Amino acid sequence: MRKKNILVLGGGGREHVLCWKLAQSEHLNKLHCIPGNAGIEKFAITSPHISITDFDSIKKYTEKHEIHYIVVGPEQPLVLGIKDFFEDSPVQVFGPDKDGAQLEGSKIFTKNFFSKNNIPTPAYHTFFTMDDALYHIRTTSLYPMVIKADGLAAGKGVFIAHNEEDAVSSIKEMMELKKFKEAGEKIIIEEFIEGNELSYQLIVKNGKVIELKPSQDFKKAYDNDKGPNTGGMGNMCPPSWMNPDILQMVKENIAYRLVDNLSLAGIQFNGVLFIGLMLTQQGPKALEINVRFGDPEIQSVFPLMRTDFIEILEAYFENQLDEIPIIWENKCSCCVVVASKGYPGSCMDLGHEIIGLDMAGKMKDVMIFHAGTKKVDGKIINSGGRVLNVVGFGKTSEEASKKAYEAVEKISFPGMHYRKDIK
């Protein structure tokens, strides 16, 4: 195989693990990342001043650096059509086109797709005006209930309302005060369900599929699933409670049904199909679809995969996903997300030097992937909400979790917070 120049888009923990994995490959020539972060700088040429949605500048960059493949980390460029933008260019983009990306870009589209195709999902109603949503609230007494913005809201557009007052204020924030801009103009009100969360990620190309190891996301900000929703505060791969029967049910009732029905509906979905689901007493129910790797899911899944990622990309672009064996380490991993004070709110305490990173990073069976970090005057500072992903490995979930927390304890910066119950 000819060595490849690869451009990764994004600057979080997900993109750090993607760059780390690509850098292991003997098939890599040069690795680039837009915008990158302080951890990614070790593996890739970074360009902090280019925006991941400025497709014209990205195109010029790919021409200048003779890029072969673009690996898109976050959803925004996909939903805005980066794959379509590069359609007539020699650069190949890993990810769905604009049509396929609707699965993440519109929750209403996806819920309707689930329900039309008999994919178990919590009961729901969709609302296009605030009056209709408020009328529904006056006529129901089913609490708690889940209120979701239809569009992209960086993992923050989901509220659990425990009473009428909560529900009315969430609806008004989204539909009247436009907290999530146009993403909240349409909303879903959904049945509240309980159970363990599971993230099941597939790589799909023309109906051929690679299945990644399942993992468990911990979405709430604080211990014991308390506090507001976040993009994810931790991840276990595989979840400590996983067994082959559960996995089989997830595949048959949800994953395969989804892939088969997408092609039947004429949606040629190619890229990462991330299925977020919950295991309830009535079986698995699909909650959402993302069209890119999960963050922090992939930080704990990819280090367990031995297969070369560039070989996977090559097989993907050559329509040969069924010919590549995926080999896994027989280990467990635990990712603990370290966040800045104030996260997931918008007012955060940033700019502090992070102490202890080197010491923690040198520990055996530990890896650290940066998210919101920047290098200033040779020091690494916190520059975003989720700052670090500290991943521990072990033969069991407990060992992996213990390792991750031993490393987290060596790290400090003012205001840092993390969940203590990822296991």
Contacts with ligand GLY, residue ranges (CB under 6 A): 155, 217, 231-232, 290, 294-295, 297
- The residues that bridge with 160 in the sheet, in sequence order, are 146
What's the CA gap between 49 and 211, in Å, rounded? 35
CB of 275 to ligand GLY, least distance (A): 11
Nearer to ligand GLY (CB atom), residue 62 or residue 230: 230
* Coil, strand or helix at 326: coil
For tokens 């605030």, what's the residue?
130
What's the CA gap between 159 and 129, in Å, rounded? 18
Nearer to ligand GLY (CB atom), residue 85 or residue 269: 269
Nearer to ligand GLY (CB atom), residue 16 or residue 68: 16
Kindly list the distances between the CA atom of residue 82 and the CA atoms of 22, 52, 76, 339, in Å, as whole numbers in the listed order.
21, 10, 9, 30
CB of 255 to ligand GLY, least distance (A): 17
CB of 87 to ligand GLY, least distance (A): 27
Nearer to ligand GLY (CB atom), residue 151 or residue 231: 231
CB of 57 to ligand GLY, least distance (A): 26
Contacts of 352 (CB under 8 A, 6+ apart): 381, 382, 413, 414, 415
What's the CA gap between 58 and 298, in Å, rounded? 24
CB of 243 to ligand GLY, least distance (A): 22
Cβ burial 307-345 (10 Å sphere, 16+ → b, else e): ebbbebbbbbbeeebeebeeeeeeebbbbbbbbbbebbe
Output the six-digit token pair for 289.
């679809």
Nearest to 346 by CA among 205, 179, 147: 179
For strands 92-94 and 69-72, give the pairing: parallel
**DSSP string covering 370-398, please?**
ESSEEEETTEEEE-SSEEEEEEEEESSHH
Name the maximum alpha-carbon separation found in the chain: 63
What's the CA gap between 273 and 271, in Å, rounded? 6
Nearer to ligand GLY (CB atom), residue 68 or residue 77: 77
* Coil, strand or helix at 272: strand
CB of 270 to ligand GLY, least distance (A): 19
CB of 152 to ligand GLY, least distance (A): 11
By beta carbon distance, the residue nearest ligand GLY is: 232
Nearer to ligand GLY (CB atom), residue 155 or residue 394: 155
Nearer to ligand GLY (CB atom), residue 137 or residue 422: 422
CB of 146 to ligand GLY, least distance (A): 16
Residue 390's CB: how many other CB atoms inside 10 A? 32
Nearest to 235 by CA among 219, 221, 222, 223: 219
Nearer to ligand GLY (CB atom), residue 25 or residue 290: 290
CB of 19 to ligand GLY, least distance (A): 17
CB of 298 to ligand GLY, least distance (A): 8
Nearer to ligand GLY (CB atom), residue 12 or residue 36: 12
Nearer to ligand GLY (CB atom), residue 120 or residue 232: 232
